Protein backbone atom coordinates (compact mmCIF):
# COMPACT_ATOMS: atom_id res chain seq x y z
CA UNK A 1 0.00 0.00 0.00
CA UNK A 2 1.44 3.37 -0.97
CA UNK A 3 1.30 6.56 1.04
CA UNK A 4 -1.06 8.19 -1.52
CA UNK A 5 -3.96 5.76 -1.10
CA UNK A 6 -5.96 5.95 2.11
CA UNK A 7 -6.65 2.75 4.05
CA UNK A 8 -9.74 0.79 3.03
CA UNK A 9 -11.72 1.83 6.09
CA UNK A 10 -11.16 5.54 5.33
CA UNK A 11 -12.41 5.09 1.75
CA UNK A 12 -15.71 3.45 2.76
CA UNK A 13 -16.60 5.78 5.62
CA UNK A 14 -17.93 8.68 3.50
CA UNK A 15 -19.88 6.28 1.29
CA UNK A 16 -21.33 4.44 4.28
CA UNK A 17 -22.19 7.69 6.04
CA UNK A 18 -23.85 9.03 2.89
CA UNK A 19 -25.80 5.79 2.46
CA UNK A 20 -26.96 5.85 6.08
CA UNK A 21 -27.97 9.50 5.74
CA UNK A 22 -29.98 8.77 2.59
CA UNK A 23 -31.64 5.74 4.20
CA UNK A 24 -32.56 7.77 7.30
CA UNK A 25 -33.98 10.55 5.13
CA UNK A 26 -35.98 8.00 3.15
CA UNK A 27 -37.41 6.43 6.30
CA UNK A 28 -38.28 9.86 7.71
CA UNK A 29 -39.99 10.84 4.45
CA UNK A 30 -41.97 7.60 4.41
CA UNK A 31 -43.03 8.10 8.04
CA UNK A 32 -44.12 11.68 7.38
CA UNK A 33 -46.05 10.60 4.30
CA UNK A 34 -47.90 7.94 6.30
CA UNK A 35 -48.61 10.48 9.05
CA UNK A 36 -49.94 12.94 6.47
CA UNK A 37 -52.21 10.29 4.96
CA UNK A 38 -53.49 9.30 8.41
CA UNK A 39 -54.25 12.93 9.24
CA UNK A 40 -56.13 13.33 5.95
CA UNK A 41 -58.20 10.21 6.66
CA UNK A 42 -58.96 11.45 10.19
CA UNK A 43 -60.17 14.78 8.82
CA UNK A 44 -62.42 12.99 6.33
CA UNK A 45 -63.94 10.90 9.11
CA UNK A 46 -64.53 13.94 11.33
CA UNK A 47 -66.33 15.74 8.50
CA UNK A 48 -68.84 12.93 8.05
CA UNK A 49 -72.43 13.71 8.96
CA UNK A 50 -73.03 10.14 10.12
CA UNK A 51 -70.16 10.10 12.62
CA UNK A 52 -72.41 9.03 15.50
CA UNK A 53 -73.74 6.05 13.54
CA UNK A 54 -70.22 5.19 12.41
CA UNK A 55 -69.00 5.13 16.02
CA UNK A 56 -72.02 3.09 17.12
CA UNK A 57 -71.38 0.55 14.37
CA UNK A 58 -67.73 0.42 15.39
CA UNK A 59 -68.61 -0.28 19.03
CA UNK A 60 -71.06 -3.01 18.01
CA UNK A 61 -68.46 -4.57 15.73
CA UNK A 62 -65.79 -4.49 18.45
CA UNK A 63 -68.20 -6.09 20.92
CA UNK A 64 -68.97 -8.90 18.48
CA UNK A 65 -65.28 -9.43 17.80
CA UNK A 66 -64.65 -9.53 21.54
CA UNK A 67 -67.37 -12.14 22.00
CA UNK A 68 -65.86 -14.26 19.24
CA UNK A 69 -62.37 -13.90 20.68
CA UNK A 70 -63.45 -14.91 24.18
CA UNK A 71 -65.42 -17.82 22.78
CA UNK A 72 -62.32 -18.99 20.87
CA UNK A 73 -60.14 -18.83 23.97
CA UNK A 74 -62.73 -20.58 26.11
CA UNK A 75 -63.23 -17.69 28.53
CA UNK A 76 -66.91 -17.45 27.69
CA UNK A 77 -68.09 -20.95 28.56
CA UNK A 78 -71.83 -20.11 28.43
CA UNK A 79 -74.14 -22.45 26.64
CA UNK A 80 -75.19 -21.15 23.23
CA UNK A 81 -78.91 -21.49 24.02
CA UNK A 82 -78.46 -19.62 27.31
CA UNK A 83 -76.70 -16.81 25.49
CA UNK A 84 -79.45 -16.59 22.87
CA UNK A 85 -82.17 -16.60 25.57
CA UNK A 86 -80.37 -13.83 27.48
CA UNK A 87 -80.08 -11.71 24.34
CA UNK A 88 -83.76 -12.24 23.53
CA UNK A 89 -84.71 -11.21 27.08
CA UNK A 90 -82.53 -8.10 26.82
CA UNK A 91 -84.11 -7.21 23.49
CA UNK A 92 -87.64 -7.62 24.91
CA UNK A 93 -86.74 -5.53 27.96
CA UNK A 94 -85.24 -2.82 25.75
CA UNK A 95 -88.44 -2.64 23.72
CA UNK A 96 -90.45 -2.11 26.90
CA UNK A 97 -92.48 -5.30 26.76
CA UNK A 98 -93.25 -6.96 30.09
CA UNK A 99 -91.67 -10.33 30.72
CA UNK A 100 -93.92 -13.34 30.59
Q: Is residue 61 part of a domain?
A: yes
Boundaries of domain holding 59: 8-95
Q: What letters, b where the CB count within 10 A reaches 16 and e where it falls short, cover 72-95?
A: eeeeeeeeeeeeeeeeeeeeeeee
Q: Is residue 51 part of a domain?
A: yes
Q: Is residue 2 part of a domain?
A: no
Q: Is residue 31 part of a domain?
A: yes
pLDDT on residue 50:
87
Number of domains making up the chain: 1
pLDDT on residue 22:
93
pTM for the structure as a whole:
0.40
> Mind listing the pLDDT tens digit for each residue in 33-85?
999 999 999 898 888 888 889 889 999 999 999 988 887 777 556 677 888 88
Nearest to 63 by CA among 80, 51, 74, 76: 76
Q: Is residue 50 part of a domain?
A: yes
Q: Is residue 100 part of a domain?
A: no
pLDDT on residue 3:
59
Amino acid sequence: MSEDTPPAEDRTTPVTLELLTLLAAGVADLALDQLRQSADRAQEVLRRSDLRELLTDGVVELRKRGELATRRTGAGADNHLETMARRAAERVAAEGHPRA
